Amino acid sequence: MGDTQRLSHFGEAGEPRMVDVGAKNATARTASAHAFVAMPAAVLAALPSNPKGNPMEIARIAGIQAAKRTADLIPLCHTLPLSYVDVRIHTEPGGLRIESEARTLAQTGVEMEALTAAAIAALTVYDMTKALSKAIEIREVYLLEKTGGKSGDYRR
């Protein structure tokens, strides 16, 4: 395999490794991600009176906290100085739409932080509502957009 085809997270012998970004310049980078939590209408209607508290606010805070801990959760991720993280959760027919945003000035991208925020927010909604139904599903976790870095901008 030539250098242009080598996967960056594998060393010469094929062992997993963390990519060395030390020689790269820090640049502004952003990413946003999406998740959808599908739930029965009765669960959606019961959200405001949930005995555990407001699942959407707890999930929003959990997502923000998760973004800050991404390097602890994903083995080869770099620890990034996050300048901003937000999680927005909207009620719509069939469930909750979650969108996260993360920003940094760093040597590597912030996509994993945005994806982690959306996924953990979705898992937190499940945790906060599972007593009401086991039919809740987490769907459609994906990157919406990223800016900055060598690979350029991306928009789904």
In this predicted structure, the answer to whether residue 99 has a pLDDT above a threshold of 90 is yes
Q: What confidence category does residue 3 fall into, taking pLDDT thresholds of 50, 70 and 90? A: very low
Q: Confirm whether 16 is domain-assigned.
A: no
Residue-level pLDDT at 2: 42
Domain-embedded: residue 60: yes
Position 155 pLDDT exceeds 60: yes
- Domain-located, residue 55: yes
Does 8 map to a domain? no
Per-residue pLDDT for 4 more than 50? Answer: no
**Is 119 strand, coil or helix?**
helix
List the CATH number of the domain containing 53.
3.30.70.640
pLDDT bin (cut points 50, 70, 90) of residue 150 is confident
Residue tagged active-site, from 3, 20, 72, 127: 127
Query: Is 127 a known active-site residue?
Result: yes
Question: What gap in Å lies between CA 132 and CA 40, rounded to an integer?
Answer: 9
pLDDT at 100 over 60: yes
Domain holding 97, by residue range, is 27-149
Q: Is the pLDDT of residue 49 over 90?
A: no
Mean pLDDT for 60-84 is 95
52 part of a folded domain = yes
DSSP 58-74: HHHHHHHHHHHTHHHHS
Whether 17 maps to a domain, the answer reads no
Six token digits for residue 147 = 């800016």
pLDDT at residue 20 in the model? 65
The answer on pLDDT for 12 being more than 90 is no
- The structural domain count of the chain equals 1
Pick the most confident of 1-5, 47-51, 62-66, 106-110: 62-66
Q: Within a domain: residue 114?
A: yes
Domain assignment present for residue 138? The answer is yes
CB 63 within 8 A of CB 118: yes
